Amino acid sequence: MPHLRPLEARVLRTIRQHRLIAPGSTVVVAVSGGVDSLALLHILHAIAPRIACTLYVATLDHGLRGQAGAEDAAFVAVEAERLGLACTVGKRDVPALMQQWGMGTEAAARRARYAFLTEVAQVVGANTVAAAHHADDQAETVLMRLIRGTAMRGLAGMRLSAPLPYAPESGLRLIRPLLGLRRAQLERYAAALDLSPRHDATNDQVNTLRNAARHRLLKPFPQLARHLVQLSTLAQIDEDYFAEQIARQVGDGFAHSDEGIVFDRALLAGLPQAFQLRIIANALRRAAPEIEMPFAHILACREAIASGKVGKLVQLEGGWRLQIDYDHAYLRRANTKPRPQPPDPLLASAAAVPVVVPGETQPPGVVWRLHARIVDETPQPATRGAVLAVPDNAAFSLRVRRPGDRFAPLGMGGHSRKLKQWMIDHKLPQAARDQMPLLEIDGQIAAICWGEKWTIADSFRIGKPKTGAVTHIYFWIES
């Protein structure tokens, strides 16, 4: 095998020490044509025989720079062919995706790029994608997060190996074998190989936060990059420790649902604040990997969860929000309609539904049925549903709550109160209140149909003095 250059040997040691590439695996190399990614391509090409891996090149024209972007992609394809490597050239219309996703240029380009790399990796059977991020990129990332406001996890910056963004379930890994190298080292390496990398003129502008951080802060203060990288290393050590402790005690610390992420408020309350903040930050990252949530939002979520103010909303970036309920807090997109989980019976329509007595009634749009059966004069207590004493020839219906509804439950001596306040006091899930079935008899709310044991109105209890004949009717719900 040819002798390795010092920089190539250093990257090989990094890969072996951290087990970034498994022998016999296929690695997709993300190449833009710039000096960083071109150096990565040649370094990996030099060391590939020593780790018995196959390289596959992928390059993407983001549709942002017209002819220049197309020429960059064509350049990469030629360079891959010169090295004897297969290459996929992709193109995406990032300006259109910005509108579709509601994102800025940098965020939409990043999402499109990783989606493309995921597709390529899956097509060629790769389990690893290699990117050319280096120490100066790390310093820029940490500095940007400091400017925007971040938690300790943000200060940790980029990892040598991490799940491929936007594809956590794919099992694909994103590796950054150049993370310990400076940009100047890669430039010297490219010059020594007489490479002719492409130059993206937009990197010279200072109209983005990253470019401004690079040209106006990092370049004038050469030592700043080194100190920021040291800070990220220390933050990674701390974050790894906390992640291990949290996983050991509570796992993720949150649960997933079809609507988003669910926090157990009591569980979080019993944990140290350092754990709480990290659990919330991890949940936000899991829910919205494309968004770097400011620390102020993480802190606002923790304070809202701790406050216990039912119904409180915390508006977050990217159309996400946190909503507080009695025992839980829900992280959802703002346009996601909250709904309780089955088997809770709900009504699908606001229209009242006539109830067949005796018999069964299936309201439209639901999978459950309300059963009604006439029982003995002295019935046994119902194990589910309720037995009501009903006047003969009464009219029955199921409906949802209406403004101004009042309810006179057992235990209040026949006195009524606002149904809304009763639901709040009894901690009925806020998301279910507008669809909760109410059994109405002769224009009165006779029972609230929630759970196994219903709550019945005092005027329909067995033994309540009434004028006229009554019938005991057992009501229950089955799916």
242 within some domain: no
Q: Which residue has the tokens 């420790």?
A: 241
CATH number, domain of 67, equals 3.40.50.620
C-alpha 439/C-alpha 475 separation (Å) is 9
Whether 260 and 400 share a structural domain: no
- For the whole model, what pTM was predicted? 0.70
Q: 213 φ, ψ to 5°?
A: -60, -40
Given a contact cutoff of 8 angstroms between Cβ atoms, the answer to whether 90 and 120 are in contact is yes
Q: Which residue type sits at 165?
A: P
Whether 205 and 268 share a structural domain: no
Cα–Cα–Cα angle for 36, 47, 161, rounded to 5 degrees: 60
Flag residues of the chain having pLDDT under 70.
Answer: 258-259, 336-344, 377-383, 452-453
CATH number, domain of 326, equals 3.30.465.60
466 within some domain: yes
Whether 137 and 12 share a structural domain: yes
| 338-385 residue pLDDT tens | 554 444 688 888 889 999 999 999 998 888 889 999 987 666 666 678
% residues pLDDT > 70 (the chain): 95
315 within some domain: yes
Whether 188 and 84 share a structural domain: yes
pLDDT for 340 equals: 47
462 within some domain: yes
376 within some domain: yes
| 385-420 residue pLDDT tens | 888 899 988 999 999 999 999 999 987 878 898 998
Whether 386 and 418 share a structural domain: yes
According to DSSP, the β-strands at 128-130 and 26-30 are parallel
Whether 323 and 392 share a structural domain: no
Whether 64 and 213 share a structural domain: yes
C-alpha 21/C-alpha 106 separation (Å) is 29
241 within some domain: no
Q: How many domains does the chain have?
A: 3
**Which secondary structure element, helix H or strand E, spans residue 55, and what is its range?**
strand 54-61
Whether 329 and 357 share a structural domain: no
Whether 78 and 162 share a structural domain: yes
Among residues 200, 231, 262, the one where a domain terminates is 231
| 45-72 residue pLDDT tens | 999 999 999 999 999 999 999 999 999 9
Residue range(s) defining the domain that contains residue 325: 252-333
pLDDT for 136 equals: 95
